[in-house]
């Protein structure tokens, strides 16, 4: 139960927290206002930095008395095991990236390359499932999932992403939603 809820691989509580944060932000109309997004950008950067600094100083200060492994486990910002400091650091970093992406998207929304990225984002559920079925399963069958080099992984991911962008552009010319997005809407 502890593994499922708190300290396992993708446990419920930190990931449900990210879900609730995203749900709350997605329903806020004030995100459409540029000055509000700039404030949120500043706040999210500050949260990420404060979380990282708190983590660093708590680990440094407590490692001699409780042990470095325990200090890292309790106050680290790594996803394993997830804790409140990790959640704050990851949420701050994610919000920072989202605010920057929204700004870039609004600034260059009419550009062809941005339209391709928008189409790709609109098929994100399809790409999420496809990266497992079409991307990871063949690697598992070939024995390359655990034994592939960093260069191979990077090139493979880059090629998958190019295929996802290209496929998204062509799909969006014919259909308004991706296959799994359409299924989800039903």
25 plus 37 within the same structural domain? yes
What is the reported pTM? Answer: 0.75
Q: Is the peptide bond before 81 cis (omega within 30 degrees of 0)?
A: yes
Question: 24-62 burial string, b = 16+ CB within 10 Å, else e?
Answer: eeeeeeeeeeeeebeebbeebeebbeebbebbeebbeeb
Q: Which residue has the higher pLDDT, 44 or 14?
A: 44
Q: What is the mean pLDDT of the chain?
A: 89
What's the pLDDT score for residue 14?
83
CB 59 within 8 A of CB 75: yes
Please give the C-alpha separations between residue 89 and each of 8, 42, 158, in angstroms, as whole numbers: 19, 14, 27
What's the pLDDT score for residue 86?
92
Structurally, the chain folds into a number of domains equal to: 2
100 plus 175 within the same structural domain? no
Which of 96, 107, 167, 97 minimizes the C-alpha distance to 131?
Answer: 167
140 plus 176 within the same structural domain? yes
47 plus 30 within the same structural domain? yes
What's the pLDDT score for residue 88?
94
Which of 125, 131, 116, 129 minimizes the C-alpha distance to 167?
Answer: 116
Average pLDDT, stretch 118-131? 93
What's the pLDDT score for residue 54?
95
Domain carrying residue 163: 110-186
156 plus 180 within the same structural domain? yes
**Residue indicated by tokens 């509580």:** 13
């Amino acid at each position: 139960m502890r593994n499922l809820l708190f300290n396992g691989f993708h446990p419920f509580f930190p990931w449900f927290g990210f879900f609730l944060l995203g749900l709350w932000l997605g329903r806020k109309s004030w995100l459409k206002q540029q000055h509000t997004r700039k404030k949120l950008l500043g706040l999210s950067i500050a949260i990420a930095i404060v979380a990282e600094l708190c983590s660093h100083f708590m680990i440094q200060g407590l490692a001699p008395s409780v042990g470095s492994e325990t200090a890292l486990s309790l106050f680290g910002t790594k996803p394993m095991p997830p804790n409140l400091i990790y959640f704050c650091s990851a949420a701050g970093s994610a919000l920072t990236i989202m605010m920057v992406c929204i700004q870039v998207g609004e600034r260059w929304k009419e550009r062809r390359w941005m339209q391709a990225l928008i189409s790709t984002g609109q098929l994100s559920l399809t790409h999420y499932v496809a990266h497992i079925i079409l991307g990871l399963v063949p690697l598992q069958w070939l024995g390359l999932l655990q034994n592939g080099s960093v260069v191979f992984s990077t090139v493979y991911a880059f090629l998958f992403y190019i295929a996802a962008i290209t496929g998204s552009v062509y799909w969006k010319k014919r259909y308004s939603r991706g296959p799994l997005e359409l299924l989800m809407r039903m």
